[in-house]
Amino acid sequence: MKKVGIFINWVLILVCCAVAGLSASDSSAAITPVAPFQAEALPDPNPPAFIYSSSIAYYNNYLIYAGDDGQIYGYNLDSGDSVIIADTRSLKSGFTAVQGFLVSSDDYLYFHDNYLFPNGLQSIYRLQLSGGWPVAYETLVTDATSAIFTFTENPWTNAIWFSSSDFGSGNFYLYEIDSGFTKATLRSSFAKKGDNSGNGPIIFEDETTLLYGESVFGENGYFHQVDTATGAVIQADYLTFTGGLADATYGDNNRIYVTSGGGKTIFELQGSAEPLAIGTTDNDAQGIVYGDDNFYISELILSGADTGKTSLDKFWDASPTPVPPTSSSGGGGGGGCFIENADPGTLSQNYAFSYLLFPVVLWLGIGIIMRLRRE
């Protein structure tokens, strides 16, 4: 019986090691998170994203992206399969596809293609996501004559806005779209920093204060505060981001999160204080969206054989939450607590360790059994 007890103890130890190895491992993440955040890489979508296209949006467990054939796809976050949302092949060129994705509170997907109509005006598009897919899109030819970059929704009024800018030197522009999708009205215009300056994201701080992003090629990114009621710039260079400024989204309680492009960093805004870095990426940190308590990040690869390819990551706040007094926390809870509080870097390692551990466990288990039988 003593030998049997020793054998059982050894087996339990080995099984615990194997389970701990599996639980603490995850798919290889291209994000290095800052605790309590954690991250994991997502399988590449099929079809892949259009070259150099990293715009994403979130809707009902789907990540929306532009496929390499120019159509809009929904990437199912559970299965990894992609389905066609809309056939937008007529809008793509050899250099660009539809982009600037925004899902509004009334389930419309807004996007643009930077195509200049014969009259020199820019067009924008939207489609309703709540019905069946694929679905047709509708078109609005705006009064904008400069390159459109991105959309945002004012959470206080539900109005949709977009930004555009002149090529080279010139101005930035801010437009508001009416609720019937019949007209876009210019609300603000102000000078860029120079020839190498381009649009960054736009996002509302409050009902009438908008953060207007500007990114200088090879240098830094900036948020300027704009009063949308008057169009005036409240404060230029309100926030500065080393390496650039690519995208912005709301998290819980309308907190704002941004990606810094070539700065390869994810930030949480802290009002006028210095933004808080909550993670870094291996490649350019481009798109960021939030849904069902998770952030999703698109990274643009700009070197090596995969240049121009977009990869996807999942990123979440893993802050431990108190266990309600009525909840059951059985004897196995110790391992869970260890894994919950493990270093996020460890949690973002791949499964190789676990797969190597199982043959070792099996070999040791067989060895112990054979030894006990000989004794």
Residue 30 lies in a domain: no
> Which tokens is 30 given?
């291209």
Band the pLDDT of 42: cuts 50, 70, 90. very high
Give pLDDT, residue 2: 46
Backbone angles phi, psi at 359, to 5 degrees: -60, -35
Share of the chain above pLDDT 90, in %: 69
> Rounded distance, CA 115 to CA 161, Å?
18
Side-chain-facing half-sphere of 373: CA atoms under 13 Å? 6
Identify whether residues 230 and 335 lie together within a single domain: no
Give pLDDT, residue 347: 32
Give pLDDT, residue 234: 98
In Å, what is the CA distance from 206 to each residue of 252, 271, 300? 15, 11, 30
Q: Which of 50, 171, 186, 43 is nearest to 113 (CA)?
A: 50
Identify whether residues 135 and 257 lie together within a single domain: yes
> Rounded distance, CA 352 to CA 359, Å?
12
Report pLDDT digits (tens) over 353-363.
333 334 444 44
Give pLDDT, residue 367: 53
**Cis preceding-peptide flag for 36 (omega within 30 of 0):** yes
> Rounded distance, CA 356 to CA 364, Å?
13
pLDDT of 16 > 90? The answer is no
> Rounded distance, CA 299 to CA 60, Å?
22
Identify whether residues 44 and 166 lie together within a single domain: yes
Identify whether residues 46 and 186 lie together within a single domain: yes
Whichever domain contains 134, its CATH number is: 2.120.10.30
Residue 181 lies in a domain: yes
Residue 324 lies in a domain: no
Residue 92 lies in a domain: yes
pLDDT of 27 > 90? The answer is no
> 45 with 51: CB under 8 angstroms?
no
> Rounded distance, CA 180 to CA 175, Å?
15
Give pLDDT, residue 240: 97
Residue 325 lies in a domain: no
Q: What is the pTM of this model?
A: 0.79
Identify whether residues 365 and 235 lie together within a single domain: no
Mean pLDDT of all residues in 62-91:
97
pLDDT of 64 > 90? The answer is yes
Residue 149 lies in a domain: yes
Domain hosting 185: range is 36-317
Higher confidence at residue 93 or residue 296? 296
Residue 49 lies in a domain: yes
Mean pLDDT score of the chain: 82
pLDDT of 366 > 70? The answer is no
Mean pLDDT of all residues in 56-72:
97
Band the pLDDT of 196: cuts 50, 70, 90. confident
Band the pLDDT of 195: cuts 50, 70, 90. confident
> 286 with 243: CB under 8 angstroms?
no
Report pLDDT digits (tens) over 265-301.
999 999 999 999 999 999 999 999 999 999 999 999 9
Give pLDDT, residue 203: 98
Strand partners, 197: 216
Give pLDDT, residue 293: 95
Helix (H) or strand (E) holding 361: helix 352-374
CB atoms within 10 A of CB 263: 23
Report pLDDT digits (tens) over 326-351.
332 333 322 222 222 233 333 333 33
Identify whether residues 342 and 309 lie together within a single domain: no
Identify whether residues 179 and 224 lie together within a single domain: yes
Higher confidence at residue 194 or residue 87? 87
For the residues of 120-166, what is the DSSP string, one character each? S-EEEEEEE-SS-SS---EEEE-S--SEEEEEEE-TTT--EEEEEE-
pLDDT of 11 > 50? The answer is no
Return left, alpha or beta for 231; rule: phi > 0 is left, psi -120 to 50 is alpha, else beta: left
Identify whether residues 358 and 244 lie together within a single domain: no
Residue 60 lies in a domain: yes
- At position 164, the amino acid (one-letter code) is S
Angle at 141 (CA atoms; ends 135, 142), nearest 5 degrees: 125
> Rounded distance, CA 176 to CA 184, Å?
5
Give pLDDT, residue 252: 87
Backbone angles phi, psi at 41, to 5 degrees: -80, 145
How many H-runs (helices) and E-runs (strands) does the chain carry?
A: 4, 25
Identify whether residues 235 and 145 lie together within a single domain: yes
> Which tokens is 112 given?
């643009």
Identify whether residues 47 and 102 lie together within a single domain: yes
Identify whether residues 7 and 61 lie together within a single domain: no
Mean pLDDT of all residues in 235-245:
97
Give pLDDT, residue 120: 79
CA-based max dimension of the chain: 92
Domains in the chain, number: 2
Identify whether residues 99 and 215 lie together within a single domain: yes
Report pLDDT digits (tens) over 109-152.
999 997 666 667 899 999 999 999 999 999 999 999 999 999 99
pLDDT of 173 > 50? The answer is yes
Contacts of the segment 206-212: beta carbons below 8 A, 24+ positions apart: 206/156, 207/154, 207/156, 207/157, 209/234, 210/152, 210/161, 210/174, 211/238, 211/239, 211/248, 211/256, 212/163, 212/172, 212/174, 212/188
Q: Is 27 exposed, middle or buried (0-12, 13-18, 19+ CB in 10 A)?
A: middle
